Structure formats: structure tokens, C-alpha cells
Amino acid sequence: MELDESKYLYLLFLLPVVVALFLFNLYWKRKKQREFGDLELVKKLSPESSTFKPVLKLVVMVLAFLGLIFGLVNPKIGTKMETVKREGIDIVFAMDVSKSMLAEDIAPSRLEKSKQIVSQITNQLGNDRIGIVAYAGSAFPVLPITSDYSVAKMFLQSMSPDMVSSQGTSLDEAIQLSGTYFDDKSKTSKLLILISDGEDHSEGAQVAAEEANKQGMRIVTIGLGTEKGGTIPLKVNGKVQSYQRDNNDEVVVTKLNRASLQAIAKATKGGYVDGNNTKEVLEYIKNTLNTIQKTEFEATQMADFQSQFQWFLGIAFALLFLDLFFLERKTEWVKKLNLFNEK
């Protein structure tokens, strides 16, 4: 359940005040009646006066007040799936999560920078659908094609080298897996945005890119890292404990392999952009998207919570209407019930 205007819940504190005023008024009436004369004699002078009706009126008024408050709060419950028509393209982000992406030659690190880039690209999308693939020594799906950007960002933040057991940079597997995300029967344009430092890439990357081109995929590669390179810090609880070393116990220095990423992009008539400058990347992706033909497709999404205020207001007004008929005189059928020993 979701509350639209939860601030109105503070009005609930008025209910004890209303009840207290009622009890005080009842006490005051009884006190005045005692001052006037004997209670039994007063009852005989007003035989049609009911002690039950005032209580009933109070209960009705309190319930009506509750209805008005919850009507103002506007609780929303229940969701439904709905199909909407949109015009856009399908985009898959293939993100390198190998240990070399932990290098901090780009602040805060290559991996964190790639997350920032994907998140900001997503922010400037319109009706496009997106998916996420992660890869290192092998590739695996993270999020299938969806139009729910908030879910995509949630999965995006959880990505790390711990997601894969085998290290390396298997660009060919990343391209092949990304290709399965796209519907071959659909005429929707297909864009793969591949983010990597390009290091330790497999030899089959070029072949995979050429095959992707035959399937109508365009690949844009984003290179992260510097040619000078950087070490790979190994952290525990956020503190650097050591640095990644090779088989000869030498500290590994990982460098950007721009050439391999450029070759992959060229094979699909795509493009390469340096990921060190986020503004430049966003502008490049924006221009690329403007050159790609958008097609209409159907997307299933969760509809917003449905407002329920009308039920509460309806009940409140019905109770207020009934209250008009609750005079403080005895009613025959209530008499028979002998509530509050009114006989």
C-alpha cells in the first residue's frame, strides 16, 4: 500500500480530543442535571430522551471523520499490468566486470565510472528498452530487455568482479550473448553499447562483431582506462590490502587497449568513444541515437497504484448523512433492545 498524502494522518490526533470533549460534555450535563434535581425525576420529565443515541452519534461522527482523513491521505493499493505502445530502440549494455576494471587510473575506478556512464545514458533515454550483460572470462545475463529503468539501475549498482569466477575479458561471448537479447522477428533497431578496457580480449571478438553486423546490430564501444595504465587494488572493507600480481609475483599494470575496441565498433559500422570524459560520451551516444531509426513496439509495464480515496469519502459522507436522522430521542426498535437499560 502507498499513501499519497501521509501528512494528513496527523489529523488522527484530533480524534482523542473529540472523544474527550464528548465525555466532558456528558459529565457536564449529568452535573447540571444533579444540580437541577433528582436524576430519576429528571428522567421522568424527559422520558423520550435517549442515553444511547448520543453515544451512537459520537461513533458515527468518529467513523465519518476517519473516512474523511483517509480520503485526504488517498491510500493506493493494487497494481495491474498494462500494455502500452512506445517508439524507440532496443539497447543492451555489455559491461566488463573483470578485475582490471578495478584499476583507479580513472576516478573513482573504471568499474564505478562505467556504472555512472550507463546510469546517465539511461537518464537521457525516452521510450527505449534496455538490457544488461556482464562479462569477464565468460558472459552471463544480468537483466533481460525491459522498459523499467529503475530496476535496471538497481541491478547496475550490484555489479562487481565477484559476479564471475573466471577472469579475463571475453568480448566475443559478451557480443554473442547480447545478440540473444534481441528479437530476430522484431524490426526494432538493435544497439549494443560495450564498455571495457579492452585488455586480454579473446581472438574471436572480431568474428563475433562481424556476425553481429549480419544480424543488424550496431555496436558502440566505450573505452575505460589510460594508455599509461594503473594497478589493481585488492581491498577489504574498503581499504587497500595489496595489489594484483601475476604468476611471476610482479604487480600487474593494466592498460587501455583502444585498438581492439575500435576494431569491434568498425566491424558493425558503429563507433568508439573515450569513456574518460562522461560529458563527451553522453553527447556521442545522444548523437548516435538520433541517427538510428525508431520503431513502434508494445511494452508491458506495471500501472501505478490505484487510488482508493473515493471509497473512504463515500463512506464518510454516507455516515454524515445518516447522522442527520439520529435525533437524541428514543427509537422504538432500540427500546426493544433495551440498550443502556433505557426502559
If residue 242 lies in a helix (H) or strand (E), which one and from where to where? strand 239-243
Question: Where does the pLDDT of residue 112 fall: very low under 50, low under 70, confident under 90, or very high at 90 and above?
Answer: very high
Q: What is the pLDDT of residues 39-73, one digit of tens each?
A: 565 555 555 555 666 777 778 888 888 888 887 88
Q: What is the pTM of this model?
A: 0.63
- Are 75 and 308 within 8 A, CB to CB? yes
155 alpha-carbon distance from chain centroid: 11
Exposure on the CB side of residue 267, measured as CA atoms within 13 A: 22
Cis amide bond preceding 108, omega within 30: yes
Burial class (CB in 10 A: 0-12, 13-18, 19+), 317: middle
Q: What is the pLDDT of residues 290-339, one digit of tens each?
A: 988 887 766 555 555 666 777 778 888 888 777 766 555 555 545 555 55
Q: How far apart are CA 215 and CA 123, in angstroms?
A: 28
Q: How far apart are CA 301 and CA 148, in angstroms?
A: 7
Q: Cell 552471463 sits at which residue? A: 140
Cell of 106: 580513472
Q: Where are the domains of the chain?
A: 2-78+306-341, 82-301
pLDDT at 133 over 90: yes
Q: How far apart are CA 160 and CA 155, in angstroms?
A: 11
Phi first, then psi, for residue 272 (nearest 5°) are -120, 140
pLDDT of residue 258: 92
- Which CATH code for domain 82-301? 3.40.50.410
What is the chain's length?
343
Question: Where does the pLDDT of residue 192 fall: very low under 50, low under 70, confident under 90, or very high at 90 and above?
Answer: very high
- Are 225 and 110 within 8 A, CB to CB? yes
pLDDT of residue 336: 56
